């Protein structure tokens, strides 16, 4: 009987040590903010009754459901209006490791197509942002239906006021027939979300 109690005690110690190991020594996850462009009364680009705000929500949800490796935060979780200042306040309080602002584009010229990355040179982290933009665009180009345009700089409010590496990603043009198809197609959205998610996981 004594032996059984002794064995039980040993196993308890092993179990509790195991738990301690998984909590205290687990690597700290990096914090990533996904900024969902537009929302609520701000529809963003709208073509054939398809709104930019909804497309970015669909893709953000897919990233959330596939990624457990990084700590994800979102500037909005539903179809609601959030001012640019409130977004920046939320981000700067959180001090994340990366901010990824997701949008889709529109243009009068329906031949314009492809994804575009933007960074702001006014941001102190612009060098890191450029590095991440280049890596993520390489990752996204593996989805061979996405054309990646050259990296651009722009003083967008979110980018220049965020105190963290930050990039804005226009995933394609709703005004271009081919881009419209992949931006609104569930399987293509999955591929885009998976690429972004896989890239974020490697940032650990």
**Residue facing Zn ion at closest CB distance:** 103
Q: How far is the CB of 106 from Zn ion (least distance, A)?
A: 8
Binding site for Zn ion (CB under 5 A): 37, 44, 103
Q: How far is CA 68 from CA 5, 64, 71, 147, 200, in A?
A: 39, 8, 7, 28, 10
Nearer to Zn ion, 45 or 140 (CB): 45
CB of 173 within 8 A of CB of 106? yes
- Residue 69 carries which DSSP code? S
Q: How far is the CB of 56 from Zn ion (least distance, A)?
A: 8
Q: How far is the CB of 53 from Zn ion (least distance, A)?
A: 8
CA pair distance 81, 76, nearest whole angstrom:
8
SS3 (DSSP) at 99: strand
Q: How far is the CB of 45 from Zn ion (least distance, A)?
A: 6
Nearer to Zn ion, 101 or 126 (CB): 101
Q: How far is the CB of 52 from Zn ion (least distance, A)?
A: 5
Question: For the chain, how are helix, strand and coil distributed in percent, rounded to 5?
Answer: 45, 20, 35
Nearer to Zn ion, 59 or 70 (CB): 59
Nearer to Zn ion, 97 or 180 (CB): 180
CB of 190 within 8 A of CB of 63? no
Core vs surface per residue 117-149: b (16+ CB within 10 A) or e:
bbbbeebebbebbbebbeebbebbeebeebebe
Nearer to Zn ion, 56 or 132 (CB): 56
Tokens of 2: 């004594």
Q: How far is the CB of 29 from Zn ion (least distance, A)?
A: 28
Nearer to Zn ion, 70 or 119 (CB): 119
């Amino acid at each position: 009987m004594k032996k059984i109690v002794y064995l039980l005690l040993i196993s308890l110690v092993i179990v509790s040590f195991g738990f301690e190991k998984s909590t205290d020594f687990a690597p700290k996850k990096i914090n990533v903010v996904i900024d969902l462009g537009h929302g609520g009364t701000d529809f963003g680009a709208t073509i054939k009754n398809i709104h930019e705000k909804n497309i970015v929500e669909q893709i953000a949800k897919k990233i959330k459901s596939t990624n457990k490796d990084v700590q994800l935060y979102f500037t909005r979780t539903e179809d609601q209006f959030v001012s640019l200042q409130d977004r920046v306040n939320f981000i700067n309080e959180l001090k994340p490791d990366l901010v990824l602002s997701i949008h889709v584009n529109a243009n009068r010229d329906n031949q314009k197509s492809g994804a575009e990355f933007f960074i702001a040179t006014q941001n102190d982290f612009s060098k890191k942002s450029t590095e991440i933009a280049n890596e993520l665009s390489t990752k996204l180009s593996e989805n061979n239906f996405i054309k990646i345009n050259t990296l651009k700089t722009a003083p967008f409010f979110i980018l220049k006021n965020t105190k963290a590496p930050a990039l804005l990603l226009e995933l394609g043009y709703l005004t271009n027939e081919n881009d419209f198809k992949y931006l609104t197609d569930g399987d293509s959205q999955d591929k885009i979300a998976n690429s972004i998610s896989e890239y974020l996981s490697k940032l650990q």
